[in-house]
Structure 1
Amino acid sequence: MLQFRTMNGTNTNPDPAPESILVIRLSSLGDVILATPVIRQLQRTYPDAIIDVAVREQYGMVYTSNPRVRRVWNVAPSVTADSDMDNWKLAMLDTVPGGRYDLVVDLQNNVASTAVRHGLGMHTVKYPKFRMQKLAMVWLKKFPSATTHVIDRYRMALANYPLALDTDGPELWLPEERASGVYKPDPSRRMHGEQPATGTLEGLQIGISPGARHFTKRWPAESYGQLCAQLVRMGARVMLVGGTADTDACNRVANVAGVPVQRADGATTLDATVRALDACDVLVGNDSAVMHMAAARRIPTIAIFGSSVRELGFTPYGVRYHIVEYNIRCRPCSHIGRQRCPQKHFKCMLMTTPNQVMQAILKLV
């Protein structure tokens, strides 16, 4: 195995003006999207620096059209082998002036990202994972007095750098936006700017995203279907949004709804989902990657939280939103979600009603 020497593994005495930066966030899709504000702020702070990203190959599409990123280094499963990892790193460093990044920013901070970052940078920083705080919330139900969003935690990795901070949300660039250099989700699609809510749904297009990776984060399809029927009766248009993994859930929602709904689920590309979201005035969905995609496109969002709690730091960011949740002692049962309810009652989702979600929508619009 080739030996790569790390010049500095801490965030002390940083290079005041790095000319080459590698940002590592390998997975999952929502977390990769939430890393984009740090990349924006690095680019604004160091406009002459090259910025590369390392990401699992299935999530590299997040950065394909991002003009702030010079190159996306996809981490395929084969890269985990020592010989392939060495070759992958050598190919990467051959493209970097000086043969090593001035700064490596590890926003994953786990065994896999440690293996990826080893030897690549003159300086390396990593974000604080707040492990003990998350464990205290899950097992002891002890919550912090103040909530720190994961985007702000990512920025903590660069505390010793004069980062040009902003309060903008994540980004998902479309190819035409990259060509123009202007990130501009269509403002005509937004709901009333900062004006008071109108309380009417007539003519609005409501995106419905019933999917989520983990069972305990999914509001039942039957509840979504009942909500869709109510929305259509009140004059709204409904669009089901999601990827190929969400098609079964969307089929169940459509069957329960029994009213005409548009289908934009089954999308095979990120751009297709982004364009579907851009056609919506509001998104209703679970704590999922689509929720963060909507925030990236500045779509006001109703997020339905089951096993999730806002104190974990994954609420929509940089956009108007409302959380609908049923407060029960066993939440959160996990900091990422589970494939079954450990209490076997699933009250966190089953006790959340379509009427409660409807009231949240009316307050937001």
Structure 2
Amino acid sequence: MKKQTNFTIIRLSSIGDIVLTSALIRSIKSTYPEAKIDFITDKAFKEVLEFNPHINKLILYDKKNSLASNDILRNEICEETKIIDLQNNFRTKFLLRNFKQVAKMKKRRLQKLLLVHFKKTPKEQPIIPLLYIQTAEKFCIKHDGNGLEFWLEEEKKLDYYPPAENKQNFKLQRIGIAPGAKHFTKRWLTENFVELIEKIHNKFNVEFYLLGGISDMKICEEIVEKINRKKQSIKIQNTSGQTSLLTSAKLIDSCDIIITNDTGLMHIAAARHIPIIAIFGSTVKELGFAPFGVEHIICEAEVSCRPCTHIGRAKCPKKHFDCMQKITAEKVFQDFEKFTNYLQSK
């Protein structure tokens, strides 16, 4: 009888980074159909992987009580398991210090430093989901050629991933907008979102969903307030802060296109195979976090100080915020028209 192969994947945070591991999870199953896959992540991000059918056990880490968590997790990890450490920080180094079969994600610190501080673009531009899979190559894992996944509860028992099978013709009826982001320098200006919504409304008979978590509520409320102040009959529904990630994914499914900042919801939309218009400010696609495996375009300004960070900042270090200021609503609207025309012609 062939011995079962065990894998343990570690990625503690955050939403987008964990969604980007889904191609690796599925590729392991493609290579080792009988494999047992455990996944260690922070308990705050349980929803991202809770219903992924390729995962046998979701092991939750508690950053607030890391020493106790480490003792518990070490007991959870089988000695013979093949460990893929995609976090590769002091926490996981301490956790895995006595394990032998460990593949660690290369942090690419030099490449990021050269890009952020000296604007030197690497010859081989990274794609994070593929770098995750590359980390597992020592265990003979290869990419299966498909995109990301974010599974809903009702999909877990299916033998296929529904968004990958949804090949309907593109129709522009509802637009999802995710105007928030954890870091200030990754947020397009609120007034530009308002202007863009007005431009789309004036030409297309569509409705809008504002998407986001609790931290995005203020931004979304401001957008609705500014639109209502102009007394336009725009069909817009603010869903921010009212839903879980799983419900947000269902709302994304009901949209025909998503307009979003560089944030976790962007990667969930990619995983649900919804076309994306992504607005990049202080970050750039050359860092490897562009939408993966889905039709998309990126709106960005040619500013010499980009990128000033690989994750985002609380404020613009140059105090002009040109990376977002120079992305006008008119420019995004023109890109929107071109992109939707392309999608309709497919």
Q: Does 1:112 align with 2:91?
A: yes
Counterparts in 2 of 1:18-167, with a 5 A limit? 19-81=5-67, 83-90=68-75, 92-93=76-77, 99-119=78-98, 121-167=99-145
Q: Give aligned pairs, total.
A: 333
2:221 aligns with one of 236, 248, 251? 251
Superposed CA RMSD: 1.9
Once the two structures are superposed, residues 204-262 of structure 1 have per-residue CA deviations (whole angstroms, 9 ceiling, x without a partner) of: 21110001110000001111111111222222211111111111111111122333302
Write the deviation string for residues 28-66 of structure 1: whole angstroms up to 9, x where unpaired. Answer: 111011011111101111111110000011112111100
User: SS in structure 1 opposite 2:19?
Assistant: helix
Alignment of 1:227-306 (within 5 A): 227-234=196-203, 235-258=205-228, 259-306=234-281
Which residue identity lines up with residue 349 of structure 1 in the other structure?
M
Quick one: structure 1 residues 18 and 122, their matched pair in 2 at CA, closer, same or farther if it must change by over 3 Å? farther
Amino acid of the structure 2 residue aligned with 1:68? H
**Residues 85 and 78 of structure 1: CA distance in aligned 2, closer, same or farther (over 3 Å):** farther
Q: Are residues 231 and 73 of structure 1, via their aligned partners in 2, closer, same or farther at CA, if it must alter by over 3 Å? A: same
1:84 is displaced (CA, Å) by 4.5
Secondary structure of the residue that 1:265 maps to in structure 2? coil
TM-score of the two chains, using structure 2 as the length reference:
0.91
| Partners of 1:190 and 1:281 within 8 A in 2 | no
Which residue of structure 2 aligns with residue 5 of structure 1? none
Aligned match for 2:182, one of 190, 213, 224: 213
Q: Residues 127 and 155 of structure 1 are in contact (CA less than 8 Å); yes or no, is this contact kept in structure 2?
A: no
Which of 347, 353, 363 is the matching residue for 2:322?
347
SS in 2 for 1:157: helix
Distance 2:3 2:30 in 1: 12
Unaligned runs of 5+ in 1: 1-15, 94-98, 193-200
2: distance between equivalents of 1:17 and 1:312? 39
Name the TM-score, length of structure 1 as normaliser.
0.87
Preserved CA contact (<8 Å) 1:43 1:68: yes
- Residues 364 and 309 from structure 1, CA distance in 2 versus in 1: closer, same or farther, beyond 3 angstroms? same
Question: What is the identity, as a one-letter code, of the residue corresponding to 1:238?
Answer: F
1:118 deviates by 3.1
2:304 aligns with one of 329, 332, 351: 329
More off after superposition, 26-35 vs 247-256? 247-256
- The amino acid across from 2:226 in the alignment is V
- AA of the residue aligned to 1:87: I
Q: Percent identity?
A: 35
Structure 1 stretch 160-169 or stretch 245-254: which is displaced more?
A: 160-169
* Contact 2:177–2:211 (CA under 8 A) maintained in structure 1: yes
> Aligned equivalents of 1:296 and 1:316: distance in 2?
9
**Residue 77 of structure 1: how far off its partner (Å):** 2.4
Which residue of 2 is the match for residue 9 of structure 1?
none
**Residue 312 of structure 2 aligns to a residue in which SS?**
coil
Q: Which amino acid aligns with 2:223?
A: V
- What is the SS of the residue equivalent to 1:182? coil
Q: Which runs of 5+ in 2 are unaligned?
A: 229-233, 341-346
Query: Counterpart in 1 of 2:343?
Result: none
Counterpart AA for 2:237: Q
Secondary structure, counterpart of 2:157 in structure 1: helix
Secondary structure at the counterpart of residue 28 of structure 2: helix
